[in-house]
Structure 1
Amino acid sequence: MSGWLSKFRSPRTRRAYAGDLLIWQRWCAARGVDPLRARRVQVDLYLADLLDGGAAPTSAGRRLSALSSFYRFLLDQDDLDITRTNPAAAVRRPAVDAQHSPTLGLTREEAVALLDTVDRDRGPQRRRNAAVLRLLLHNALRVDELLGADLTDLGRHPGREDVHDTLTIRRKGGRRARIALAEATVEALLHYLEHRAAAAGCGRHELTGPLFASRTGRRLTPKAAWVLVRRTARDAGIASWAKLSPHSLRHTAITLALDAGAPLRDVQDFAGHRDARTTRRYDRAREDLDRSPTYALSEWLARRPSYVPESS
Structure 2
Amino acid sequence: MTKMDNLHWISTFLDAQAAELGAAQNTQLAYARDLRIFSDWVDRQKLDFAAIQRTDIENFLVACDAEGLSPATRARRLSAIKQLYRFAFEESWRSDNPAIQIKGPGRSKRLPKTLEVIEVDRLLNAARTTGRTQADRLRNTCLMELLYATGMRVTELVSLPVSAARGDPRMLLVMGKGSKERMVPLSPPARTALAVWLKTRDAAEDEARTKGKPASRFLFPSRGKAGHLTRHRFYLLIKELAVSSGVAPDKVTPHTLRHAFATHLLANGADLRAIQMLLGHADVATTEIYTHVLDERLRELVLENHPLARDREAKRSDGGNTSSDGQ
Q: How far did residue 34 of structure 1 move?
A: 4.3
Unpaired segments ≥5 residues, structure 1: 158-163, 291-312
Q: Does 1:106 align with 2:131?
A: no
Q: Does 1:2 align with 2:11?
A: yes
- Residue 174 (structure 1) aligns with: 179
Q: Deviations over 1:208-232 (max 9, x none)?
A: 6112211469222222222222332
Q: Does 1:253 align with 2:267?
A: no
Normalised TM-score (structure 2): 0.71
- Residue 150 (structure 2) aligns with: 139
Structure 1 CA distance for aligned equivalents of residues 157 and 119 of structure 2: 22
Q: Deviations over 1:3-50 (max 9, x none)?
A: 322314222321222232234345446666545543322322333454
- Residue 19 (structure 1) aligns with: 33
Aligned residues: 275
Q: Does 1:149 align with 2:160?
A: yes
Q: Deviations over 1:168-213 (max 9, x none)?
A: 01122322212111111112112221111222337xxxx7611221
Q: Secondary structure at the match of 1:285?
A: helix
Query: Pairwise CA RMSD of aligned residues?
Result: 3.2
Q: Which piece of structure 1 moves more, 189-198 or 232-241?
A: 232-241
- Residue 192 (structure 1) aligns with: 197
Whichever residue aligns with residue 175 of structure 2, its letter is R
Q: Does 1:183 align with 2:188?
A: yes
Q: Percent identity?
A: 29
Query: More helix per residue: 1 or 2?
Result: 2
Q: Secondary structure at the match of 2:218?
A: coil
Unpaired segments ≥5 residues, structure 2: 1-9, 208-214, 301-327
Structure 1 190/35 Cα, relative in aligned 2: closer, same or farther at 3 Å? same
Normalised TM-score (structure 1): 0.74
- Residue 129 (structure 1) aligns with: 140
Q: Does 1:264 align with 2:269?
A: no
Q: Deviations over 1:100-144 (max 9, x none)?
A: 455433333332222121111132322222212222222111123
Structure 1 256/60 Cα, relative in aligned 2: closer, same or farther at 3 Å? farther
Q: Secondary structure at the match of 1:168?
A: strand
Q: How far did residue 273 of structure 1 move?
A: 2.1
Q: Does 1:115 align with 2:129?
A: no
Structure 2 CA distance for aligned equivalents of residues 102 and 33 of structure 1: 40
Tell me if the contact between 1:149 and 1:210 (Cα under 8 Å) persists in the aligned partners.
yes
- Residue 237 (structure 2) aligns with: 228
Tell me if the contact between 1:258 and 1:264 (Cα under 8 Å) persists in the aligned partners.
yes
- Residue 6 (structure 2) aligns with: none
Q: Which piece of structure 1 moves more, 69-78 or 52-61?
A: 52-61
